[in-house]
Structure 1
Amino acid sequence: MTAAAELLEPDEDGEGSWALVKASQNGDTAAFGRLYERYHDVVFRYIVYRMGDRGTAEDLTHETFLRALRRINSVTYQGRDIGAWFVTIARNLVFDQVKSSRYRLESTTDNIVDIAPPTTEGPEQLVLEGATRDALLRAIDMLNPDQRECIILRFLNGLSVAETAVKMDRNEGAVKALQHRAVKRLAQLMPDGVR
């Protein structure tokens, strides 16, 4: 096996990746490119799972590797694969994105549209789906602030019960009860023909 092939082959403790990190720290941009190729999918899958939106996940994945490139000289071997460092950067970007009120305001309706399955039905079906989506958004707006925040965090932002509990500063049991009441209230608020 050539020396270049050894750099690409990760061994059990990730030393192959760390050899690429060392080369990147010494100015080898091709080595960082190989790190990008190796960890791009891991980072992207992590972000898309957390965010539920491919476009946002692509942007945050790009930003993750841009920040990593800027800070590559500050990273040192900690006994773990370098992928953990990339995912930590991604996690921090996801938290920042979710915390920003701008994200909540902009993504709410987009996420509902993205979640709706594509149809091959005619224009009548598209009109009905649009009416259903609009009715759901109006119903969400009629919930009390805690119920609305719970529904947005759980179903539009895709957070788990535990993550929602942290965001709302409540325990998991309280979030489950709040979610149950919010879903029940949404069912009451939706027009009869739409439920």
Structure 2
Amino acid sequence: MSAPKRTVSEADMQEEWLEVQAAQKDPAMFRPLYERYHEPIYIYIFRRTTDEMLTADLCSQVFLKAMQKIHRYEYQGVPFSAWLYRIASNEIAQHFRKANKTRVVTIEDAPLSHLSEEIGREIPEDFTPLLVQALDSLKEEDLQIIELRFFEERPYKEVGEILGITENYAKVKTFRILNRIKKNLGE
């Protein structure tokens, strides 16, 4: 499986870790982290809710919880954003559990080239409804893996960190999920 497009250098992660440590000492120092990650987290949530007001509320909750719990954050060799995505993922799941609704899958703005490359076939526009149907048939955790890996273009290490699984298990799960998607698309 090919490497993701988005990677963060070790030097950038070390610099970010210094920003996190500063925020752990003084909450006012959280601002650079907020400014860097607000938009990507907002987009991540919006792709799962398609509701701007709900997205804004959930995004606010994510950053509030992050600020309140930043003293617990420990550097794990992945970008700080992985921790924020985990919080966002939990907030989304909690919302849909409380609302007793199923969550939304949107692929309109998603970069499907990486996904089509992995499943070994081009995904023409008229095939999109079948892809949505295949994605809708996935379990919540499986769908999260596909979204993080292919729509958010996160590396396996981050996918694992966000979902609380190992990098290797994220790879294995992705491979198995892609095989199911291929089967659902009628190889």
With the length of structure 1 as denominator, give the TM-score of the two structures: 0.49
Please provide the CA RMSD for this pair. Answer: 3.3
Q: CA deviation at 1:104?
A: 2.6
Q: Larger Rg: 1 or 2? A: 1
Q: CA deviation at 1:70?
A: 1.2
5 Å-filtered alignment, 1:161-180, equals 161-162=134-135, 164-166=137-139
Q: CA deviation at 1:15?
A: 1.7
SS in 1 for 2:29: helix
50, 71, 80: which one aligns with 2:78 = 80
Partner residue, 1:41: 39
Q: CA deviation at 1:103?
A: 5.2
Partner residue, 1:104: 101
CA 1:48–1:166: 2 relative to 1, 3 Å: same
Percent of aligned pairs sharing the same letter: 29
Which runs of no fewer than 5 residues in structure 1 stay unpaired? 1-9, 109-154, 177-195
User: CA contact under 8 A between 2:13 and 2:79: conserved in structure 1?
Assistant: yes
Residue identity opposite 2:69 in structure 1: R
With the length of structure 2 as denominator, give the TM-score of the two structures: 0.51
5 Å-filtered alignment, 1:88-167, equals 88-100=86-98, 102=99, 104=101, 161-162=134-135, 164-166=137-139
User: CA contact under 8 A between 1:44 and 1:58: conserved in structure 2?
Assistant: yes
Q: Which string of whole-angstrom CA distances, capped at 9 and with x for unpartnered residues, describes residues 51-73 of structure 1? A: 11111111000000111111111
Q: Which string of whole-angstrom CA distances, capped at 9 and with x for unpartnered residues, describes residues 66-112 of structure 1? A: 11111111110100110111011001111111223x2539x99xxxx
